Amino acid sequence: MEDKLREDFPIDWEEDHFVSRREFLRFMTLASGGLAVGSAALAVWSRKTNDSIAFDAMRICRVDEVNAGSARGFTYPRPTDLCILIKDTEGEWKAYSRRCTHLSCPVSYEPDKHRLYCPCHNGAFSIEDGRVLQGPPPHPLPKILIETRGEEIWAVGVAKAEHLS
Ligand code: FES
């Protein structure tokens, strides 16, 4: 009977791997240190002020690549953060997160209505300041800070949303 049991459950204690308390504590110390280093790196990468968060500047496009009354998409600060750059009908530049604050559908520029529109639930935002004009979105669109550098438009940060102040 014992032989049959060993055959079915061949446990060899010599080769079995135990995690000692010391090894576990060492792992936890390293993991905590890694998190601390990651947080410090993030703090250096993003420089917060009272009303904005500066990220590394990123070129979006040349000024002559967008006509008045049109827009183009870009990502900032991460490759997964969808944004929209607008040159309004007056020729002024604006940029916002492209994710609707309701359920994250991408918004589109409607120059004739001077707004950003979300087709998912009929939401709309002002292109002046990103505030909600209609529909279920609970918050304004986050504004992307941009600069004109010579003949190029650059993203330089993200304005802190008022509802998070
Ligand atoms: S996802 Fe935009 S209004 Fe619902």
We report the CATH number of the domain holding residue 139 as 2.102.10.10
Give the CA angle between residues 50, 52, 54 to the nearest 5°: 120
pLDDT value at position 18? 61
Strands (E), the chain: 47-48, 52-62, 70-75, 82-87, 93-97, 108-110, 115-118, 123-126, 132-134, 144-149, 152-159
Domain span holding position 17 = 2-45
Q: Which residue has the higher pLDDT, 135 or 37?
A: 135
Question: Do 137 and 59 sit in the same domain of this protein?
Answer: yes
For residue 143, the CA-to-ligand 1 centroid distance in Å is 17
Question: Do 17 and 95 sit in the same domain of this protein?
Answer: no
Question: Do 23 and 65 sit in the same domain of this protein?
Answer: no
Q: Does the structure show a pLDDT above 50 at 165?
A: no
Question: Do 33 and 75 sit in the same domain of this protein?
Answer: no
- Long-range contact pairs involving 18-22 (C-beta distance under 8 Å, separation at least 24): none
Tell me what the mean pLDDT of segment 56-63 comes to: 97
pLDDT tens digits, residue range 67-121?
A: 999 999 999 999 999 999 999 999 999 999 999 999 999 999 999 999 999 999 9
Total domain count, the chain: 2
Question: Do 91 and 130 sit in the same domain of this protein?
Answer: yes
Question: Do 59 and 139 sit in the same domain of this protein?
Answer: yes
What number does the ligand 1 atom closest to the CA of 105 have? 1
Question: Do 110 and 154 sit in the same domain of this protein?
Answer: yes
For residue 98, the CA-to-ligand 1 centroid distance in Å is 11
Residue 95 Cα distances to 12, 26, 116, 140, 152, angstroms: 64, 47, 11, 13, 14
Mean pLDDT of all residues in the chain?
A: 85
Question: Do 21 and 100 sit in the same domain of this protein?
Answer: no
Is 68 in a helix, a strand, or coil? coil
pLDDT band at 156 (very low <50, low <70, confident <90, very high): very high
Question: Do 108 and 28 sit in the same domain of this protein?
Answer: no
What is the spatial distance between Cα 20 and Cα 144, in angstroms, rounded to a whole number? 50
What is the spatial distance between Cα 96 and Cα 146, in angstroms, rounded to a whole number? 10
Question: Do 13 and 66 sit in the same domain of this protein?
Answer: no
Question: Do 95 and 27 sit in the same domain of this protein?
Answer: no
Question: Do 80 and 158 sit in the same domain of this protein?
Answer: yes
pLDDT value at position 34? 61
pLDDT value at position 9? 64
**Of the candidate ranges 35-49, 88-102, 128-142, 151-165, the one whose mean pLDDT is the lowest:** 35-49
Residue of 118, 133, 141 best suited for mutating to test ligand 1, as the one with most atoms within 8 Å of CB: 118
Buried-state track 60-73, b at ≥16 Cβ within 10 A, e below 16? beeeeebeeeebbe
Q: Which residue has the higher pLDDT, 145 or 40?
A: 145
What is the spatial distance between Cα 9 and Cα 7, in angstroms, rounded to a whole number? 6
Residues 9, 11, 16, 19, Cα dihedral to 10°: 60
